[in-house]
Amino acid sequence: MTAHKTFPQKHQEAGVALLIAILVLLLVSAVGLALVAASGTESSLAGNYRSSTSVYYAGLAGLEEARGRLLPSNPDYFNKTVANFIPTAGPLAVGQVRYILNPAPGEVVAPATLGTAFADTEYQNEFPGPVPVATTQTIPSVWTAGAPIAALQGPLYKWVRITAATEKSLNVDVNGDGVKDPATPLYYDPANLPRPGLIVPALPPALAPATASQVFEVTTLAVLPNGSQKLMQYVVTPVTFNLNLPSALTIPGPIGSFNPPNSNGYCMDGNDTAQLATVSGCSFTPPPPVPGCGTTSPSVPAVGVSTGNDAATSQTNVNYVDSQIPCSSPNSCLDQNYMGSTGTTPSVGTPPLPPNMSSPAQLQQELATIQQNADVCLGCAGAGGSTYTFSNLDTASGSLWASCGTNCGTTPQVTYVNGNLDISGNTSGSGILVVTGNLTYDGNSSWNGIILVVGNGLTTYIQNGGGNGQFNGAIFVANTAGNPPGTYGPADFTINGGGGNGVYYNSCWIANSQKPTTLKVVSFRELPN
């Protein structure tokens, strides 16, 4: 017999399944860890985005509060709380700094003090040196000033700074002279053709054109409880109606009729009477003073008309107006009661119309802007054409006069009447008044500001009888339905009897009636902090 040895078989695949299982488990674990990490990253990204968005809108709220409170029509206008917080005469000077403070309960916000938690370190990047404490004023935010808003959770900005903009602060050489001037305030001029924009007023002295408005920098710091911060800045400028009337009384187009009064005390004066107490030979009564207005403007004609002939085509508009002024004898001519820049009496000239009033089409665009921003708009909801009274202006919805009765001569408002207006009586109004039909009043009626009687057809300016009222500012009477279309048509100016005290050009009341309707955002940027 043969003996056989038996050897056990070697299973080389033994344990492979376990190894594969371990590898799969490691792979699944890696994927799981990656998913966890990705989830954490997504959460972090979402949290960062939420913080960034929240602090952005907090800063934007601060910018918008300052932008809104720069408007005199705002119930929280700065100067209603702190007198002359924003200068009413002249620009906000470089070095005059204004802050809105919005601290949390128990928190101290002192932006002008370097080294504090919310110090304004950006200021010295834009202006020479640290914040000038001596010329710095502060005002609380509407969110911290009192109930009921203070009881709400307000936006989390800490402060807003308002300063004059300069070439250096904006890092822009506006006039291309190779120097970024750190000391001269900038202005925005919509009439700075062919490219409206920023200008540096001529020096010396620093005088800006009448069509220009100062440019402000509005800067804010917003800080969230988690430490997120954002420094943001607007560059803004006030937008006004820009009504630069060229005469005390302006009548464009061929004049239909011009019938002035026969009163010795009635005057039309194109010399700026803003700072005068008396006018020689005239029954002049100084109007209410305009706070902060202490300058005068160059003279304009007493009566401004268009070149060309009157409606009857018998003579020029200038000669026709001149011939209508009463002059019964050499000793009783009233020519000397019509004074102005022409150097003649009566002062009747042909000054150029401003671009926004140079044609009916341009004027209609300006009127549309006025209507959109009017405090009171009578007859605007329908076709118009009705006749309204002074009482309607006083008690209308949106009126700033708050039922002041007949003496509303110190609070200017923008009033648009789509129809006829009769303000007869011992009444006194102020601001911008637009009448798209006929304006009727008597000698005791007064107005401080700008009157535009601008009808599409028959347009008359009628005063009945004498009295003690007068008009301080400027008046524009125009018929927008000329022939050919697109030109001014005949308009009528009639005063029956002795008349009131007259029409006096007044630059202070012209400017005071054109308070800004909004602040245009010229630029916006986020600043490093």
Cα(520)–Cα(237) distance, integer angstroms: 5
User: pLDDT tens digit string along 252-292?
Assistant: 999 999 999 888 889 999 999 999 999 998 999 999 998 77
pLDDT in tens, 77-133: 999 889 889 987 778 999 999 999 999 888 999 999 999 999 999 999 999 889 999
pLDDT of residue 204: 47
What integer pLDDT is reported at residue 245 of this predicted model? 95
Contact by Cβ (8 Å): 505, 473: yes
Q: Which DSSP category does 104 fall into?
A: P
Q: Which amino acid is residue 103, in one-letter code?
A: P
Handedness of CA 435, 469, 275, 291 (dihedral sign): negative
Alpha-carbon distance of 267 to 245, in angstroms, equals 18
Q: What is the pLDDT of residues 1-45, one digit of tens each?
A: 556 555 555 556 667 788 888 888 888 888 888 877 776 776 666
Question: What share of the chain in percent tops pLDDT 90?
Answer: 58
Beta bridge partners of 214: 187
How far is the C-alpha of 340 from the C-alpha of 504, rounded, in Å?
A: 10
Predicted pLDDT at 28? 85
Average pLDDT, the chain: 88
Q: Residue 117: what residue type? A: A
Residue 447 clears pLDDT 50, i.e. is over it:
yes
Long-range contacts of 400-405 (CB under 8 A, 24+ apart): 400/73, 400/375
pLDDT beyond 60 at 203: no
Q: Which two tokens mark 90? A: 């002249």
1: DSSP letter: -
Q: Please name the residue that has the structure tokens 């007949």.
A: 406
- pLDDT at position 415 is 95
Minimal CA–CA distance to 435: which of 402, 412, 458, 466? 458
Give the up-direction half-sphere exposure of residue 434: CA atoms within 13 A in the CB hemisphere: 29
Segment 392-402 shows an average pLDDT of 87
Burial class of residue 77, CB neighbours in 10 A (0-12, 13-18, 19+): middle
Beta strands in 29-112 (DSSP E): 97-101
pTM confidence score: 0.74
Check residue 478 and give its pLDDT. 95
CB atoms under 10 Å from CB of 356, counted, come to 19
The vertex-496 CA angle with 494 and 499, nearest 5°, equals: 95
Return the amino acid letter for 437. Answer: G
Residue 367 has which token pair? 């009127």
Asked if residue 373 has pLDDT above 90, the reply is: no
CA distance 136 to 126: 16
User: What gap in Å lies between CA 489 and CA 255, rounded to an integer?
Assistant: 8
Q: DSSP assignment of 303-369, as one string?
A: EEE-SSB-TTSSSBHHHHHHHHS-BSSTTSB-GGGEESTTSSSS-EE-PPPPGGGSSHHHHHHHHHH
pLDDT of residue 205: 47
Quote the tokens at residue 199.
């200008």
Q: Which residue has the higher pLDDT, 60 or 152?
A: 60
Where does residue 235 rank: exposed (0-12), middle (13-18), buried (19+ CB within 10 A)?
A: buried
**CA–CA gap between residue 383 and residue 29 (Å, rounded):** 77
Residue 153 or 451, more confident: 451
How far, in Å, CA of 477 to CA of 494, rounded? Answer: 11
Residue 363 pLDDT > 80, yes or no?
yes
Q: With left for phi above 0 and alpha for psi between -120 and 50, is residue 66 left, alpha or beta?
A: alpha
CA distances from residue 282 to 259, 322, 325, 364, 401 in whole angstroms, order as listed: 19, 19, 15, 35, 30
For residue 45, what pLDDT is reported?
65
Q: Which residue type, as a one-letter code, is found at position 482? A: G
pLDDT single digits (tens) 302-350: 999 999 999 999 999 999 999 999 886 566 788 999 999 999 999 999 9
DSSP state of 103: P
